[in-house]
Chain A
């Protein structure tokens, strides 16, 4: 359980996090989505007991992060942005050290078990300096999981992994999220969509949107988009597509490609395909266009700026 109320953090004159409010329940995976410098890492550092906030309060696993910092730290697994590893230790030594710091009984067995969980048991006696980036990331994750924490705070857990490892780590996080509270940060929208139950979009230290990934996208997009491509340069294609009922607008980037928008729920793609083929074009491709994170971002930050101007 994570509960954040009015959380604010200043670095000197710069406000990194401004009046943040949110909650995350047990069994929930909450994604923190935002550009670099949005305040994700700062928030996570406060929640993990690394630094106190300037103002506001936060409870993690039922304890206050400032007043009962040690209790919080006992119950939180934290993977910082830069994976903190001792390169002069072997994988097993490192995890055994972490287990000892957390007073876990049978620390070496526990360490080995955790290595298995992250698929690193084959490299138990390798020095961390010899591990690849992806393996180091998994070691970082192992360190956060070793004490089976109630709350997991993961700062960019899949960064630097190859696609196969990304899938593995995501599955691992999903499994973890069944009984725990997971807060993870990412700047990859598809990642948030795949594993998070809820997404908080944060920009300049403020939460500007909070919803399930599906709702968020639907709410923002307003209309669905698709793109098609024909052989040749597709002269006159725009006019043909425009006539199809349900098509709201048409945009021609050129080179035989065309983008069109339609109301959500009214899929006009079959109609469009028929009409295009009927008009004698060779249809090569017809695909939906999702909204990219960048676009959602631009959209949201524009709204954010507008509403703030209104307030004034």
Chain B
């Protein structure tokens, strides 16, 4: 585990030396900032009218919900090079001949990405502070915590899948598109058949990632089945990544 931590630390520092980290942070924070301002302005305008039919005070669900949606598009860019770049640069040979287990390498890469994303997620708490100051008696604390927990779980699961996919490729672009495809599938497509096909509709709706976030944790509710869903995806991604590294050795 110490090795995973060493690799995670190095990966975290590496993010801040690459433009991708800044581009992702810029796009995410800009989008959320605009959204946040519009929400506040809209609320102020309508609430000033006062009385019956005024909209409820906004909570942080809007921010965390949009953040999670943005991750579908942004995380493939974060994960694509994590392992694929080592393969391309030949530094994989360095890591695979160091006394590091294959899974430690993958977990380290994932943790490094997660640390970076936690930094970005943490910086959005500034919106929560502003909102809390604007509203009386303040925002719903439980909803705030569960929605952030949900956002972290969504991010962690997508990162694990992304790292696993990155480990299968030498080419970053290939890793990017495969990850994007799988994320889009899990977020939007897999839920559709549940509405039209009766056979296996339970399965399809269980696989639907956005339902595990939007319909529960982002609303302030924690279900065991949602936690199980995200932890399974994390395990699946990390296992696939470790296996891909092992397969590479046999190449």
Interface residues of A (CB under 8 A from B): 11, 45, 48-52, 70, 73-74, 76, 78, 80, 82-88, 97-98, 100-103, 143
Contact = CB atoms under 8 A, between A and B. Distances in A.
A43 to B, nearest CB: 14
Given A50-B249, A73-B98, A74-B99, A84 B6 contact: no
A123 B171 CA distance: 32
B97 A49 contact: yes
A85 B94 CA distance: 8
Contacts of A80: 90, 93-94, 97
A85 B90 CA distance: 8
Contact of B250 (A52, A78, A88): A52
A101 B100 contact: yes
Contacts of B2: 103
The 10 A-B residue pairs whose C-beta atoms are closest, nearest first, are: A84-B94, A84-B91, A82-B90, A73-B99, A74-B99, A100-B6, A80-B93, A48-B97, A78-B97, A101-B98
B58 to A, nearest CB: 41
Contacts of A87: 89
B225 to A, nearest CB: 38
Contact of A102 (B90, B98, B250): B98
By secondary structure, the B interface counts as helix
Interface size class of B (residues with CB under 8 A): 20 to 34
Nearest to A12: B251
A78 B97 CA distance: 7
Interface string B82-122: 00000001111111111111000000000000000000000
Contacts, number: 60
Interface of B: 2-3, 6-7, 10, 14, 17-18, 89-101, 249-251
Given A88-B17, A100-B6, A101-B6, A50 B98 contact: no
B97 A73 contact: yes
B94 A143 contact: yes
B109 to A, nearest CB: 13
Contacts of B7: 101
A49 B95 CA distance: 11
B98 A98 contact: yes
B94 A51 contact: no
A84 B3 CA distance: 18
A68 to B, nearest CB: 11
A45 to B, nearest CB: 8
A88 B14 CA distance: 8
A52 B250 CA distance: 6
A184 to B, nearest CB: 16
Contacts of B89: 84, 86-87
Nearest to A103: B2
A86 B3 CA distance: 17
